[in-house]
Protein backbone atom coordinates (compact mmCIF):
# COMPACT_ATOMS: atom_id res chain seq x y z
CA UNK A 1 0.00 0.00 0.00
CA UNK A 2 1.54 3.31 -1.02
CA UNK A 3 1.19 6.68 0.64
CA UNK A 4 -1.69 7.82 -1.57
CA UNK A 5 -3.67 4.69 -0.77
CA UNK A 6 -3.38 5.47 2.92
CA UNK A 7 -4.71 8.96 2.33
CA UNK A 8 -7.50 7.61 0.13
CA UNK A 9 -8.58 5.34 2.96
CA UNK A 10 -8.54 8.12 5.50
CA UNK A 11 -12.14 8.92 6.45
CA UNK A 12 -13.34 6.85 3.50
CA UNK A 13 -16.08 5.42 5.71
CA UNK A 14 -18.05 8.63 6.26
CA UNK A 15 -21.77 8.13 6.00
CA UNK A 16 -23.67 9.04 2.85
CA UNK A 17 -26.51 11.52 3.32
CA UNK A 18 -29.75 9.55 3.32
CA UNK A 19 -32.25 9.85 0.52
CA UNK A 20 -34.79 11.81 2.50
CA UNK A 21 -32.19 14.33 3.57
CA UNK A 22 -30.99 14.56 0.00
CA UNK A 23 -34.48 15.29 -1.31
CA UNK A 24 -34.99 17.98 1.32
CA UNK A 25 -31.66 19.58 0.47
CA UNK A 26 -32.52 19.49 -3.21
CA UNK A 27 -35.88 21.13 -2.58
CA UNK A 28 -34.30 23.88 -0.46
CA UNK A 29 -31.58 24.45 -3.00
CA UNK A 30 -33.98 24.70 -5.92
CA UNK A 31 -36.00 27.30 -4.01
CA UNK A 32 -32.83 29.28 -3.44
CA UNK A 33 -31.93 29.06 -7.11
CA UNK A 34 -35.38 30.28 -8.01
CA UNK A 35 -34.85 33.36 -5.87
CA UNK A 36 -31.42 33.86 -7.43
CA UNK A 37 -32.56 33.43 -11.01
CA UNK A 38 -34.23 36.13 -13.05
CA UNK A 39 -37.85 35.24 -13.66
CA UNK A 40 -37.99 34.75 -17.33
CA UNK A 41 -38.84 31.89 -19.59
CA UNK A 42 -39.07 31.56 -23.30
CA UNK A 43 -42.62 31.71 -24.56
CA UNK A 44 -44.18 28.31 -25.01
CA UNK A 45 -47.27 27.33 -26.85
CA UNK A 46 -50.10 27.33 -24.39
CA UNK A 47 -52.77 24.88 -25.39
CA UNK A 48 -55.41 26.12 -23.11
CA UNK A 49 -59.01 26.17 -23.66
CA UNK A 50 -61.87 24.25 -25.09
CA UNK A 51 -64.04 27.00 -26.38
CA UNK A 52 -67.61 27.17 -27.49
CA UNK A 53 -68.90 30.37 -28.95
CA UNK A 54 -72.44 30.85 -27.85
CA UNK A 55 -75.28 32.93 -29.19
CA UNK A 56 -75.07 35.96 -31.42
CA UNK A 57 -73.73 38.41 -28.84
CA UNK A 58 -70.50 38.49 -26.91
CA UNK A 59 -71.52 35.47 -24.85
CA UNK A 60 -68.93 32.74 -24.58
CA UNK A 61 -68.88 29.51 -22.66
CA UNK A 62 -65.41 28.63 -21.58
CA UNK A 63 -64.56 25.18 -20.43
CA UNK A 64 -61.30 25.56 -18.64
CA UNK A 65 -58.61 23.01 -19.14
CA UNK A 66 -55.18 23.12 -17.66
CA UNK A 67 -52.43 24.92 -19.45
CA UNK A 68 -49.89 22.55 -20.91
CA UNK A 69 -46.96 24.60 -19.78
CA UNK A 70 -44.21 24.40 -17.25
CA UNK A 71 -44.44 26.66 -14.24
CA UNK A 72 -43.10 30.05 -15.01
CA UNK A 73 -39.56 30.40 -13.79
CA UNK A 74 -39.99 27.95 -10.95
CA UNK A 75 -37.24 25.42 -10.39
CA UNK A 76 -37.94 21.95 -9.08
CA UNK A 77 -38.22 20.32 -5.73
CA UNK A 78 -40.95 19.40 -3.30
CA UNK A 79 -41.46 20.75 0.20
CA UNK A 80 -39.71 18.44 2.67
CA UNK A 81 -42.99 16.94 3.96
CA UNK A 82 -44.15 16.26 0.41
CA UNK A 83 -40.79 14.83 -0.55
CA UNK A 84 -41.01 12.45 2.40
CA UNK A 85 -44.61 11.47 1.62
CA UNK A 86 -43.90 10.91 -2.06
CA UNK A 87 -40.74 8.99 -1.31
CA UNK A 88 -42.77 6.76 0.98
CA UNK A 89 -45.40 6.34 -1.73
CA UNK A 90 -42.62 5.34 -4.11
CA UNK A 91 -41.42 2.70 -1.65
CA UNK A 92 -44.96 1.40 -1.17
CA UNK A 93 -45.36 1.24 -4.96
CA UNK A 94 -42.17 -0.76 -5.28
CA UNK A 95 -43.39 -3.30 -2.76
CA UNK A 96 -46.74 -3.87 -4.48
CA UNK A 97 -47.14 -6.90 -6.70
CA UNK A 98 -47.30 -6.13 -10.41
CA UNK A 99 -50.83 -5.99 -11.80
CA UNK A 100 -51.68 -8.27 -14.66
CA UNK A 101 -51.01 -6.81 -18.10
CA UNK A 102 -53.85 -7.22 -20.61
CA UNK A 103 -53.25 -9.80 -23.32
CA UNK A 104 -54.56 -9.52 -26.87
CA UNK A 105 -58.35 -9.67 -26.75
CA UNK A 106 -58.47 -8.43 -23.16
CA UNK A 107 -59.38 -4.94 -22.05
CA UNK A 108 -58.27 -2.55 -19.39
CA UNK A 109 -61.38 -1.27 -17.70
CA UNK A 110 -61.51 2.03 -15.84
CA UNK A 111 -64.39 3.87 -14.29
CA UNK A 112 -64.13 7.54 -13.41
CA UNK A 113 -66.48 10.19 -12.18
CA UNK A 114 -65.73 13.82 -12.66
CA UNK A 115 -67.19 17.22 -11.94
CA UNK A 116 -65.96 20.06 -14.06
CA UNK A 117 -66.56 23.77 -13.65
CA UNK A 118 -66.81 25.99 -16.70
CA UNK A 119 -67.39 29.69 -17.08
CA UNK A 120 -69.78 31.72 -19.09
CA UNK A 121 -68.83 35.30 -19.89
CA UNK A 122 -71.97 37.10 -21.05
CA UNK A 123 -70.26 40.39 -21.84
CA UNK A 124 -72.25 43.66 -22.01
CA UNK A 125 -71.41 44.37 -18.36
CA UNK A 126 -73.33 41.32 -17.15
CA UNK A 127 -71.97 39.14 -14.38
CA UNK A 128 -69.72 36.21 -15.33
CA UNK A 129 -71.06 32.90 -14.13
CA UNK A 130 -69.86 29.40 -13.37
CA UNK A 131 -71.62 26.17 -14.14
CA UNK A 132 -70.77 22.56 -13.48
CA UNK A 133 -71.02 19.35 -15.43
CA UNK A 134 -71.00 15.89 -13.92
CA UNK A 135 -69.71 13.03 -15.93
CA UNK A 136 -69.46 9.29 -15.34
CA UNK A 137 -67.33 7.39 -17.75
CA UNK A 138 -66.37 3.78 -18.29
CA UNK A 139 -63.56 2.84 -20.66
CA UNK A 140 -62.66 -0.56 -22.02
CA UNK A 141 -59.46 -0.37 -24.04
CA UNK A 142 -57.60 -3.31 -25.60
CA UNK A 143 -53.88 -3.25 -26.35
CA UNK A 144 -54.73 -2.94 -30.06
CA UNK A 145 -56.62 0.30 -29.41
CA UNK A 146 -60.11 -1.11 -29.86
CA UNK A 147 -62.75 -0.83 -27.18
CA UNK A 148 -65.81 0.86 -25.83
CA UNK A 149 -66.57 4.05 -23.94
CA UNK A 150 -69.82 4.82 -22.19
CA UNK A 151 -70.32 8.28 -20.92
CA UNK A 152 -73.15 9.83 -18.98
CA UNK A 153 -73.31 13.57 -18.42
CA UNK A 154 -75.57 14.89 -15.73
CA UNK A 155 -77.71 18.00 -15.77
CA UNK A 156 -75.90 21.32 -15.89
CA UNK A 157 -75.51 22.64 -12.38
CA UNK A 158 -74.69 25.99 -10.86
CA UNK A 159 -72.31 26.24 -7.90
CA UNK A 160 -74.40 29.01 -6.31
CA UNK A 161 -77.81 30.59 -6.63
CA UNK A 162 -76.05 33.76 -7.81
CA UNK A 163 -74.64 31.81 -10.75
CA UNK A 164 -78.09 30.51 -11.63
CA UNK A 165 -79.54 34.02 -11.32
CA UNK A 166 -76.78 35.38 -13.59
CA UNK A 167 -77.59 32.71 -16.16
CA UNK A 168 -81.28 33.63 -16.07
CA UNK A 169 -80.42 37.36 -16.25
CA UNK A 170 -78.36 36.67 -19.37
CA UNK A 171 -81.45 35.12 -20.96
CA UNK A 172 -80.76 31.44 -20.19
CA UNK A 173 -78.14 31.13 -22.92
CA UNK A 174 -77.14 27.79 -24.36
CA UNK A 175 -74.07 26.68 -22.44
CA UNK A 176 -72.90 24.38 -25.16
CA UNK A 177 -74.04 21.30 -23.30
CA UNK A 178 -77.33 19.49 -23.06
CA UNK A 179 -79.00 21.13 -20.07
CA UNK A 180 -80.72 17.88 -19.18
CA UNK A 181 -77.71 15.66 -19.48
CA UNK A 182 -76.91 12.93 -21.95
CA UNK A 183 -75.66 9.38 -22.19
CA UNK A 184 -73.84 7.65 -24.97
CA UNK A 185 -71.99 4.47 -25.75
CA UNK A 186 -69.50 4.27 -28.52
CA UNK A 187 -67.51 1.35 -29.87
CA UNK A 188 -64.08 1.69 -31.40
CA UNK A 189 -62.13 -0.43 -33.84
CA UNK A 190 -58.48 -1.32 -33.59
CA UNK A 191 -56.24 1.72 -33.47
CA UNK A 192 -59.03 4.16 -32.69
CA UNK A 193 -58.32 4.51 -29.00
CA UNK A 194 -55.02 5.29 -27.44
CA UNK A 195 -53.50 2.50 -25.45
CA UNK A 196 -50.26 4.05 -24.30
CA UNK A 197 -47.44 1.57 -24.29
CA UNK A 198 -45.59 2.49 -21.14
CA UNK A 199 -43.48 -0.64 -21.09
CA UNK A 200 -40.46 1.18 -22.51
CA UNK A 201 -40.55 4.13 -20.14
CA UNK A 202 -37.44 4.41 -17.98
CA UNK A 203 -37.74 3.92 -14.24
CA UNK A 204 -34.96 6.36 -13.48
CA UNK A 205 -36.75 9.49 -12.23
CA UNK A 206 -34.43 11.92 -14.04
CA UNK A 207 -34.82 10.16 -17.37
CA UNK A 208 -38.54 9.82 -16.90
CA UNK A 209 -38.89 13.48 -16.04
CA UNK A 210 -36.97 14.48 -19.14
CA UNK A 211 -39.34 12.47 -21.28
CA UNK A 212 -42.37 14.01 -19.60
CA UNK A 213 -40.90 17.51 -19.88
CA UNK A 214 -40.13 17.01 -23.54
CA UNK A 215 -43.59 15.61 -24.29
CA UNK A 216 -41.99 12.45 -25.67
CA UNK A 217 -44.53 10.08 -24.18
CA UNK A 218 -45.98 7.19 -26.10
CA UNK A 219 -49.53 8.02 -27.10
CA UNK A 220 -49.09 11.51 -25.68
CA UNK A 221 -51.65 13.81 -27.18
CA UNK A 222 -49.73 16.97 -26.37
CA UNK A 223 -52.56 18.09 -24.17
CA UNK A 224 -51.82 17.26 -20.59
CA UNK A 225 -48.11 16.85 -20.94
CA UNK A 226 -45.80 18.56 -18.49
CA UNK A 227 -48.49 18.90 -15.90
CA UNK A 228 -48.61 17.40 -12.49
CA UNK A 229 -51.97 15.91 -13.33
CA UNK A 230 -50.36 14.10 -16.19
CA UNK A 231 -48.05 12.36 -13.75
CA UNK A 232 -51.26 11.31 -12.02
CA UNK A 233 -52.70 9.98 -15.25
CA UNK A 234 -49.58 7.99 -15.92
CA UNK A 235 -49.83 6.59 -12.40
CA UNK A 236 -53.26 5.43 -13.34
CA UNK A 237 -52.08 3.83 -16.56
CA UNK A 238 -48.82 2.27 -15.47
CA UNK A 239 -50.24 -1.23 -15.46
CA UNK A 240 -47.98 -3.95 -14.32
CA UNK A 241 -44.92 -1.84 -13.58
CA UNK A 242 -44.35 -1.17 -9.86
CA UNK A 243 -40.94 0.37 -10.65
CA UNK A 244 -42.52 2.85 -13.05
CA UNK A 245 -45.13 3.80 -10.46
CA UNK A 246 -42.33 4.37 -7.96
CA UNK A 247 -40.46 6.54 -10.45
CA UNK A 248 -43.61 8.57 -11.13
CA UNK A 249 -43.95 9.37 -7.44
CA UNK A 250 -40.32 10.46 -7.46
CA UNK A 251 -40.95 12.64 -10.49
CA UNK A 252 -43.91 14.18 -8.66
CA UNK A 253 -41.51 15.06 -5.84
CA UNK A 254 -39.48 17.12 -8.29
CA UNK A 255 -42.22 19.54 -9.18
CA UNK A 256 -41.31 22.89 -7.66
CA UNK A 257 -42.81 23.52 -4.28
CA UNK A 258 -45.02 20.44 -4.21
CA UNK A 259 -46.84 20.46 -0.90
CA UNK A 260 -48.15 17.69 1.28
CA UNK A 261 -51.78 18.33 2.24
CA UNK A 262 -51.89 15.45 4.71
CA UNK A 263 -54.59 12.85 5.14
CA UNK A 264 -57.78 13.74 3.33
CA UNK A 265 -60.95 12.14 2.00
CA UNK A 266 -61.26 11.96 -1.76
CA UNK A 267 -64.46 13.30 -3.42
CA UNK A 268 -65.93 9.79 -3.15
CA UNK A 269 -65.30 9.80 0.61
CA UNK A 270 -62.38 7.38 0.59
CA UNK A 271 -59.44 8.11 2.92
CA UNK A 272 -56.17 9.03 1.24
CA UNK A 273 -53.19 11.31 1.31
CA UNK A 274 -52.90 14.39 -0.88
CA UNK A 275 -50.06 16.28 -2.49
CA UNK A 276 -50.53 19.54 -4.37
CA UNK A 277 -48.68 21.53 -6.96
CA UNK A 278 -49.57 25.17 -7.51
CA UNK A 279 -48.66 26.94 -10.71
CA UNK A 280 -50.04 29.42 -13.21
CA UNK A 281 -53.01 30.24 -10.98
CA UNK A 282 -54.03 26.64 -10.28
CA UNK A 283 -53.51 24.06 -7.61
CA UNK A 284 -53.41 20.51 -8.87
CA UNK A 285 -54.01 17.89 -6.22
CA UNK A 286 -53.36 14.18 -6.35
CA UNK A 287 -55.03 12.00 -3.77
CA UNK A 288 -53.66 8.51 -3.35
CA UNK A 289 -54.05 5.60 -0.98
CA UNK A 290 -50.89 5.71 1.14
CA UNK A 291 -51.17 1.98 1.90
CA UNK A 292 -51.27 0.86 -1.73
CA UNK A 293 -49.99 3.96 -3.59
CA UNK A 294 -53.02 3.65 -5.87
CA UNK A 295 -54.26 6.96 -7.23
CA UNK A 296 -57.75 7.70 -5.94
CA UNK A 297 -58.55 11.11 -7.34
CA UNK A 298 -57.23 14.30 -8.81
CA UNK A 299 -58.45 17.85 -8.47
CA UNK A 300 -57.74 21.23 -9.95
CA UNK A 301 -58.51 24.28 -7.91
CA UNK A 302 -58.37 27.85 -9.10
CA UNK A 303 -56.04 29.85 -6.85
CA UNK A 304 -55.39 33.03 -8.77
CA UNK A 305 -57.98 33.87 -11.46
CA UNK A 306 -55.94 36.84 -12.68
CA UNK A 307 -53.11 34.56 -13.62
CA UNK A 308 -55.01 32.20 -15.84
CA UNK A 309 -56.09 34.38 -18.73
CA UNK A 310 -58.79 32.79 -20.83
CA UNK A 311 -58.10 32.58 -24.47
CA UNK A 312 -61.14 32.80 -26.67
CA UNK A 313 -61.04 31.04 -29.95
CA UNK A 314 -60.20 29.43 -32.23
CA UNK A 315 -63.48 30.19 -33.99
CA UNK A 316 -63.65 33.77 -32.81
CA UNK A 317 -61.37 36.28 -34.39
CA UNK A 318 -59.40 38.06 -33.26
CA UNK A 319 -58.46 35.97 -30.24
CA UNK A 320 -59.37 37.63 -27.02
CA UNK A 321 -57.75 37.17 -23.66
CA UNK A 322 -60.10 37.46 -20.74
CA UNK A 323 -58.83 37.23 -17.25
CA UNK A 324 -60.18 35.75 -14.12
CA UNK A 325 -63.86 34.93 -14.44
CA UNK A 326 -63.86 32.53 -11.47
CA UNK A 327 -63.32 32.94 -7.75
CA UNK A 328 -60.25 31.62 -5.94
CA UNK A 329 -61.03 28.23 -4.48
CA UNK A 330 -63.29 27.18 -7.35
CA UNK A 331 -62.80 23.47 -8.01
CA UNK A 332 -62.30 23.41 -11.77
CA UNK A 333 -62.09 19.69 -12.09
CA UNK A 334 -62.44 16.82 -9.71
CA UNK A 335 -61.98 13.31 -11.02
CA UNK A 336 -62.40 10.14 -8.99
CA UNK A 337 -60.83 6.90 -10.17
CA UNK A 338 -63.37 4.39 -9.02
CA UNK A 339 -62.39 1.06 -10.47
CA UNK A 340 -59.86 -0.47 -12.77
CA UNK A 341 -58.72 -3.89 -13.87
CA UNK A 342 -58.28 -6.29 -16.75
CA UNK A 343 -61.41 -7.94 -18.18
CA UNK A 344 -62.23 -10.33 -21.04
CA UNK A 345 -64.89 -8.35 -22.87
CA UNK A 346 -66.40 -4.88 -23.16
CA UNK A 347 -69.45 -6.11 -21.23
CA UNK A 348 -67.55 -7.10 -18.12
CA UNK A 349 -66.38 -5.10 -15.17
CA UNK A 350 -63.78 -6.33 -12.68
Partner 1 sequence: MLQTATDATAIAASDHDPRQFGLIFDRHFANIHRYLHRRVGLDLADDLASETFVVAFRRRADFDAAQGSARPWLFGIATNLVRHHRRTERRKLGAYARTGVDPVAVDAAFDSADDRLQADVAKPILAKALAGLNRKDRDVLLLHAWAELTYPEIARALAIPTGTVRSRLNRARRRLREPLAAIAQVNDTSTDLGGSHDE
Which residue ranges make up the site for partner 1 (CB under 8 A)?
1, 3-4, 6-8, 10-17, 22, 25-26, 28-30, 32-34, 36-37, 40-42, 70, 73-77, 202, 206-207, 210-211, 216, 254, 256
| Distance of closest approach, residue 295 Cβ to partner 1, in angstroms | 24
Question: Which residue lies nearer to partner 1 by CB, 34 or 304?
Answer: 34
| Distance of closest approach, residue 75 Cβ to partner 1, in angstroms | 4
Give DSSP secondary structure letters for 31-90.
HHHHHHS-----------EEEEE-SSSS-EEEEE----S--TT------HHHHHHHHHHH
Question: Which residue lies nearer to partner 1 by CB, 49 or 277?
Answer: 277
* Alpha helices in the chain, H assignment, sequence order: 3-9, 19-36, 80-95, 161-169, 205-213, 228-237, 242-252, 305-308
Question: Which residue lies nearer to partner 1 by CB, 26 or 96?
Answer: 26
- 172 vs 106: CA distance, rounded Å: 46
| Distance of closest approach, residue 178 Cβ to partner 1, in angstroms | 43
| Distance of closest approach, residue 271 Cβ to partner 1, in angstroms | 33
- Which of helix, strand or coil describes residue 255? coil
| Distance of closest approach, residue 26 Cβ to partner 1, in angstroms | 6
CA atoms within 13 A on the CB side of 66: 31
Q: CA nearest 273: which of 296, 246, 306?
A: 296
Question: Which residue lies nearer to partner 1 by CB, 279 or 299?
Answer: 279
Q: What is the DSSP letter of 346?
A: T
Question: Which residue lies nearer to partner 1 by CB, 95 or 207?
Answer: 207
| Distance of closest approach, residue 201 Cβ to partner 1, in angstroms | 10
Question: Which residue lies nearer to partner 1 by CB, 12 or 184?
Answer: 12
Q: CA nearest 348: which of 105, 100, 143?
A: 105
- 103 vs 349: CA distance, rounded Å: 16
Amino acid sequence: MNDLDLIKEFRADVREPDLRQLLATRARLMRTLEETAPRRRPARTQRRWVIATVGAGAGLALAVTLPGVLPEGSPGGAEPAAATALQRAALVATDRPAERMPKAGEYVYTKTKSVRTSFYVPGDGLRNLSFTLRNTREDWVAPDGSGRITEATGKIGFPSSADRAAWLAAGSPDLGQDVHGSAATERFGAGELSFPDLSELPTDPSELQEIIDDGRLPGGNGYHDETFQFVGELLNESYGRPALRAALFQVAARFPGVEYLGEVKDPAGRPGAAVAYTHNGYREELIYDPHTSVLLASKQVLTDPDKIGLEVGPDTAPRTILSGPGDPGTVLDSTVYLKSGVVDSTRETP
